[in-house]
Every structure is written in structure tokens, then in C-alpha cells.
Amino acid sequence: MPHTKPLFFRYLGSLFAIFLSVVSWQTRAETPTFILTSIKPLALILQEAYGDLITVDYLLPPQASPHHYSLKPSDLRKLSKADLFVWAGPGLENFLLTVLKNNPADFQIALIEEMEKSHPELLIHLNALTEHTDSDHSHEDQLVDPHIWLNRENAAAIAQLTGMRLEEAGADPGRISMAFNTFEQKLTNLTGTQTTNLNELQLITYHNAYAYLARDLNLTITDIVTPQTDVNPGAKHLVQLKQKAIDHPTCVIVEPQFSSKLVDKIFDQEGTKIIEIDPMAGQSATYTDFFSDTLRKLENCK
């Protein structure tokens, strides 16, 4: 049967090709995906949620403020090694916009943009603080507060959106969903332990970073020391803040990314507490550690 042999080999050959493609698909699916995030807190969220399935790293050193950062050549090298890049969006890490334009859309998750589609109720619009009576103000002035990670519901949404992308890339949906549920449960378990009466505090924060945290913990932030982190606050504003702090028990939150000298000078009277909270989670090993640590520090305000 001279004709069957090549046919048999051809059959074997195509079987082998199928076998190879299955192996390479499986290898791809099993290979830990390397996810790079812009800032450390986002990496902590994804590490705690999916650490068994992926490897995670972050770009900015935690002592740097994402509001004022320039990419270094080493950052670009790190970026080129990532399978997926997760960032808040141009409202926070504006310095990434040009670099990311050259990458395919499925290389990145711009979280604020994605959350606007999937979880719009979780986003805080900065102009929501001021009442608009005119009906025709444009969409452009609806700036989203970019500090999205400072809230547990948002942390869950960030993990969920990333998990969906991992599934699309071939990760096992069962494992993703199990990992997500465990993470979400951890976040829920943090509630109710120490959050009593925090809403009675008058809080002043250094910059406008804590609206999401305030929503999560029912905090009352009455004032911001500096509305723009690159501009020194006006003298009149500072005098008003000082007077408020004299009139009411006040706690001022400073951040390691910005000098606290000014705050120390204005709020030097008795009865005003100054605490440092690091929104970039510089000292924390996990997201839940970061959140409990923040809670503990707020307790010291009382």
C-alpha cells in the first residue's frame, strides 16, 4: 500500500502540529503573566488578589508623587518587559500618556476609563463638591478624582477588571474567580474593627487625595491645605485654616511625598493633631496591611 504511508505520516504530522499548538497554548496560559503597575498601591491590590497566578511589580518609587514624575530610561526598559500595564489614567500619571500611545490597546488597563464604563458609581467627580446650577457645563470639567485606590470597593473593582483581562488572555476563570472572592472577603473583614466615631473628626488633608477614603470610612474632610500640589497655598487660605483649627478639634494629614514644614508652622497650637499617612503605601507589604495601618493612624487622631 504505497499511498497510505505518506498519508499516514501527513496525518501524524498534523496531529503533531495540533499537539504542539496545545502545548504552546498551555505554556502561555500557565506562564505567570508579568503585570506592571504605575504606582505601588495598585501593585499591592493585584499582588494580594492574584499573587499565585501572576508576577507583579510597579514603576514609580513610592516616595515619588505621581502628580510630578518624569520617566527614566530604566522605567522604559521595565515597561517593555511587561505583559500588561495597569495605571489610573492621564488624570494621575499624565507622564505616561505619550509612551503608552505606541502600545496596543490590550497592553494596558487605564482604570479610570474602564471604571467609567463598568463602575461609574464608584468614581468621585471633583466638581461634585461645587453645586452647578447651569445645565450646559461641558463634560471636560467633570474631572475624576484620580486617587481611586484609597477605597476598598474601588480596590475590589480594580482587581475585578484586571481579573477579567487575565481571563481574556487565557487564565483559568475558576482560579481567577476564587482568588478574587478571597481578596474581596479580606477587604470586607477589615470593616467595623476600629472605625467607630471617626466621622466626628474634623480632618484637613495636605492635598486633595482622600475623598475615596472619606467615602469608605465615613470621614469628614473639611479642608485641603494646598489645592494644587505644585503651587504654594495662599496666605489668606492658611490664616483661615489656622482659625478653623483653633475653633474645632482638628487633625491634619500630611504625606511623606510633600514637606510638612508648612503644616507644622501653621498648626502649631495645642488641640490640633498632625498625623502622616502615606497614600503611596511606601511601608506596606500588602494592600490590607496598608488599609489597616491607615485606619490605625486615623484612630490616633481621636
Instruction: Return the range that interacts with Zn ion (CB under 5 A); candidates 81-89, 103-111, 120-128, 205-213.
Output: 205-213
Residue 209 or 295 with smaller CB distance to Zn ion: 209
Work out whether 209 is an interface residue with Zn ion (CB under 5 A): yes
148 binds Zn ion (CB under 5 A): no
From 99-107, 112-120, 202-210, 255-263, give the range in contact with Zn ion by CB under 5 A.
202-210
The rounded distance, in Å, linking the Cα atoms of 83 and 131 is 43
* Residue 89 falls in which region: left (phi positive, over 0), alpha (psi -120 to 50) or beta: left
Our CB check for Zn ion shows the closer of 186 and 207 to be: 207
Cell readout for 48 is 494580594
Supply the minimum distance, in Å, between the C-beta of residue 207 and Zn ion: 5
CB-nearer residue toward Zn ion: 198 or 209: 209
- Scan for cell 530610561, then name that residue: 73
Residue among 168, 146, 162 at smallest CA distance from 47? 162
Measured from the CB of residue 144, what is the shortest distance to Zn ion in angstroms?
A: 13
The b/e string for 145-173 (b: 16+ C-beta within 10 A; e otherwise) is: bbbbbbbbebbbbbbbbbbbbbeeeebee
109 contributes a contact to Zn ion by CB under 5 A: no
Is 211 a residue that touches Zn ion (CB under 5 A)?
A: no
Q: Select 146 or 163, whichever has its Cβ closest to Zn ion.
A: 146
Task: Give residue number: closest CB to Zn ion.
Answer: 209
C-beta of 209 vs 217, nearer to Zn ion: 209
Give whichever of 53 and 225 is closer to Zn ion, judged by the CB atom.
225
Min separation Cβ 258 and Zn ion, Å: 9
Residue 213 near Zn ion by CB under 5 A = no
Q: Taking the complex as a whole, how short is the minimal distance between the CB of residue 137 and Zn ion, in angstroms?
A: 24
- Give the separation between CA 215 and CA 204, rounded to whole angstroms: 15
Contacts of residues 182-191 at CB distance under 8 Å and 24 or more positions apart, as own/partner, are 182/49, 183/48, 183/49, 183/156, 183/159, 184/156, 184/159, 186/48, 186/288, 187/152, 187/155, 187/156, 187/288, 187/291, 188/152, 190/152, 190/288, 190/291, 190/292, 190/295, 191/152
Identify which range of 95-103, 112-120, 203-211, 235-243 contacts Zn ion by CB under 5 A.
203-211
8 A C-beta contact, residue 254 and residue 279: no
Kindly determine how many residues on this chain lie close enough to bind Zn ion according to the rule CB under 5 A: 1
- Please, which residue, 205 or 272, has the CB nearer to Zn ion? 205
Q: Could you give phi then psi for residue 86, rounded to 5 degrees?
A: -115, 125
> Counting contacts by CB under 5 A, is residue 179 touching Zn ion?
no
Min separation Cβ 196 and Zn ion, Å? 28
Question: Could you give the angle at the alpha carbon of 107 between the alpha carbons of 106 and 110, nearest 5°?
Answer: 85
Residues that bind Zn ion (CB under 5 A): 209
